[in-house]
Amino acid sequence: MTMTYDPENIFARILRGDIPNKTVAETAHTLAFHDIAPHAPHHVLVIPKGPYVDFADFAAHASVEEITDFHRTAAQICEGLGEGYRTISNSGGHGGQEVPHYHLHILGGRPLGPMLTR
């Protein structure tokens, strides 16, 4: 079940300009910026500008324009990672989500190893 959106979460504050970010790409509906604590040489976060908590909330409630824009913006960043990359979206407690604003991690720049430790 999706939580209620918290407008004080850190990515909402980045979108309002209260907190700086290292922007990689920005469109009408989407912002991409460098993760502050990167797990790989290339670690970018892609977020919708709308107030969606997680993947399921975004998929269920965003407009077709927002969903298309989000994925095309993310894909353009991925295309620059010629040796390959990984996209991850964490959700909820079991997913290990820390920031309750939907985001896609794009990781690359080195071999990333197995998907999960068992």
Only one of the segments 46-54, 57-65, 73-81, 93-101 lies at the binding site for ligand AMP (rule: CB under 6 A); that segment is: 93-101
Say how far apart CA 24 and CA 46 lie, in whole Å: 9
CA distance 13 to 100: 12
> Could you give the CA distance from residue 49 to residue 70 in angstroms, rounded to a whole number?
9
> Whose Cβ is closer to ligand AMP: residue 17's or residue 96's?
96
Q: Which residue has the tokens 């298309």?
A: 68
Q: How far is CA 96 from CA 25, 56, 58, 91, 93, in A?
A: 25, 15, 18, 6, 5
Contact pattern for ligand AMP over residues 48 through 87, marking x by CB under 6 A: ----------------------------------------
Taking the least distance from each CB to ligand AMP, the nearer of 27 and 87 is: 87
Q: Is 115 in the site for ligand AMP (CB under 6 A)?
A: no
**Residue 43 annotated to the active site:** no
Residue 2 tokens read as 């999706």
Number of residues in contact with ligand AMP, rule: CB under 6 A?
Answer: 12
Q: Does 9 bind ligand AMP (CB under 6 A)?
A: no
Could you give the CA distance from residue 58 to residue 53 in angstroms, rounded to a whole number? 7
Contacts to ligand AMP by CB under 6 A = 10, 19, 21, 35-37, 45, 90, 96-99
Residue positions annotated with a catalytic role: 103
